[in-house]
């Protein structure tokens, strides 16, 4: 391996990484006639039937990168978690209809804090007419 260049994610950057990962997929998995905008943007546009377009987006908020709990209260964080996705949809000219949420939790969060998070998220969803359609939880219960 001497002399071999092995770039890191930091070396290639976000868009370089996206292109590298797209190239690693079989072409038939990244293109479809109904997919008018796919990998490489903040959202994908799918036209399931003529005259209809669905826009799908997802964002991740990482503690220490996108927010810090010592600077942010839980309701504001819930609001932000939905707002970043609604912003991507607005940039595509799409009207939001439903959202899913994925939470990666350490396991030591207080349930009352997560209820406050959902209240912040739910408040924005109610104001924008968005239905929260489910999602996923990943719990790191860890050994003390």
56-66: pLDDT as tens digits: 888 888 877 78
- 78: exposed, middle or buried (C-beta count within 10 Å: 0-12, 13-18, 19+)? buried
pTM of the model as a whole: 0.74
The answer to whether the beta carbons of residues 91 and 117 sit under 8 Å apart is: no
The answer to whether the beta carbons of residues 85 and 58 sit under 8 Å apart is: yes
The two structure tokens encoding residue 1 = 């391996």
Bridge partners of 56? 44
Q: What is the spatial distance between Cα 141 and Cα 144, in angstroms, rounded to a whole number?
A: 9
37 pLDDT higher than 70: no
Considering the domain 9-139, what is its CATH architecture? 2-Layer Sandwich (3.30)
Q: What is the spatial distance between Cα 32 and Cα 74, in angstroms, rounded to a whole number?
A: 40
111-130: pLDDT as tens digits: 899 999 999 999 999 999 99
């Amino acid at each position: 391996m001497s002399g071999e260049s092995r770039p890191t994610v930091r070396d290639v950057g976000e868009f370089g990484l996206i292109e590298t990962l797209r190239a690693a997929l079989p072409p038939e998995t990244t293109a479809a006639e109904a997919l008018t905008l796919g990998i490489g943007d903040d959202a994908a546009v799918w036209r399931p039937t003529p005259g209809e377009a669905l826009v799908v987006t997802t964002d991740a908020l990482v503690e220490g990168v996108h927010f810090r709990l010592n600077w942010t209260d839980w309701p504001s964080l819930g609001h932000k978690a939905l707002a970043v996705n609604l912003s991507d949809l607005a940039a595509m000219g799409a009207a939001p209809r439903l959202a899913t949420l994925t939470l990666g939790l350490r396991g030591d969060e207080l349930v009352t804090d997560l209820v406050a998070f959902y209240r912040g998220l739910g408040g924005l969803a109610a104001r924008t007419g968005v239905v929260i359609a489910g999602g996923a939880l990943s719990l790191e219960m860890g050994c003390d």
